Amino acid sequence: MHKKTTVTGSTLAALALTLTACGGDGDAADDGELTDISLGVLNIAPSAAVQYGLDEGIFEEHGFNVEIVEGQGAGAMLPAVQTGDMDFAVGNALSVLTAVDQGLEMRLLTGYSHSYAEGDDINGVVVRSEDDIEGWSDLDGLDVAVNVLNGQGDLTIMEAVSQDGGDPNSLGLTEIDFPEMTAQLERGNVDAIWLPEPFLSQTLADDEFELLGHPNQEVIPGLPTMHSFTSAQYAEQNPELTEQFQEAMDEALTAAEEDPEGTAQALATFLDMDEDVAADVRLEEFDADPRVEQLDTMVELMVEYDFIDEPVNLDEVVLD
C-alpha cells in the first residue's frame, strides 16, 4: 500500500504536489479506509526505519497509505512541506530550526535517529595517521571537510575545538560530498574530514587514516541526527492526522530499533543493496523521543556560532 518516488532539487515541490493530491483532508481514516499522505525521506541508511514500518504494515495499522518522496536534504524538502505540497518529512533538526529562524512556521513531531552517547558513534572526524593531529585544538588553522556548511558537522567540530582550548574561527571549513572526502584527505587537499557511517568504517579500515574523535559525543552526547516534521499550518489544520502520524512513527521506530535483523532487511530493500552488506551497516539509534534537552544545547550553539540570529522557542516548535 505504498510506493516510492525519487525526486531531487527544484523538482521536489512540483512532483510532491502531484503525489499528495489525495492527502491531508484533515480527518483520520474511518471504517478501515486509509488516508493518503506523502512522506519525504533521504536516500540514506537511516531511512530504513521508515521502510521497516512500511514492510511491517505499521503505517497501515495507523490508517495511512504512504507515498514516499526521496529528497536530497531537509533543506530541499522544507519548501514543499511549508507550502503544503508535502505532508510530512524526515530530516535534520538543525535545518528545520534554521528555517524557523528565517520565518518558516515548522513543527518537529518526533525524534527519529540519534547519535550514540558513548562508544563508537555513527560519525567522526578522520585525519591522516602520519599527521601530528592528536586533539581537537590541533585542528587550529587547518582545513576540515564537511558535507554542508552551517550543519551539524561544523557546529559540533567548532565547539569541540573550542572546548579543547583551540580557536574555532581559525578552521578552514570546506564542503565536499561524503563519497569524495577520503580521496581528498589522502591527496592532502584537506587535513581532516567529517564522515558518517558507512564511510567512516570504510575509511578507518585503511591504516593510512585514524579517528580523531566523535564530535557529537564531545559536545552533545546522544545528539539527534534527524526528526520528523511538518508545517505549523498542516499540524493545526489536521490535528488528528498529525497525532496518528506521531503514533505511527513512534511504533515504527521502536520496532525497528528492537529488530536489527529486520531493519537490515529493510535497508537492503530501501537502498537496493545486498542483504549481507546491509547487515554490516552501523545505523543510528532509532527513538521517537525528540530529546529537547539536546536540542536546547544545539540551539545555544547555533546562536553562539551565528547559525541563527535568536534562540528558537522549542516549546512552540516541538509538538507534544
Tell me the pLDDT of the chain (320 aa) as tens digits. Answer: 444 443 434 334 443 333 333 344 444 445 579 999 999 998 889 999 999 999 999 999 999 999 999 886 777 899 999 999 999 999 999 999 999 999 999 999 999 999 999 999 999 999 999 999 999 999 999 999 999 899 999 999 999 999 999 999 999 999 999 999 999 999 999 999 999 998 999 999 999 999 999 999 999 999 999 999 999 999 999 999 999 999 999 999 999 999 999 999 999 999 999 999 999 999 999 999 999 999 999 999 999 999 999 999 999 999 98
pLDDT of residue 257: 98
Helix 48-55, helix 260-271: angle, nearest 10: 100
**Residue 180: CB atoms within 10 Å:** 13
pLDDT of residue 74: 74
pLDDT of residue 72: 66
Identical fold at 3-115+223-317 and 123-219?
A: yes
Residue 256 to residue 131: CA distance in whole angstroms: 40
Q: Any idea where the domains of the chain sit in the sequence? A: 3-115+223-317, 123-219
Helix 239-258, helix 260-271: angle, nearest 10: 110
Cell digits of residue 191: 587535513
pLDDT of residue 78: 94
Domain 123-219 has CATH 3.40.190.10: yes
pLDDT of residue 27: 47
pLDDT of residue 76: 80
Cell digits of residue 128: 591522516
* Widest distance between CA atoms in the chain: 66
Q: In terms of Cα–Cα distance, which of 110, 115, 117 is closest to 253? A: 110
Fold for 3-115+223-317, please state it: D-Maltodextrin-Binding Protein; domain 2 (3.40.190)
Cell digits of residue 148: 554542508
pLDDT of residue 198: 86
pLDDT of residue 251: 98
| Sequence-distant (≥ 6) Cβ neighbours of residue 35 within 8 angstroms | 23, 25, 27, 28, 29, 63, 64, 65, 241, 244
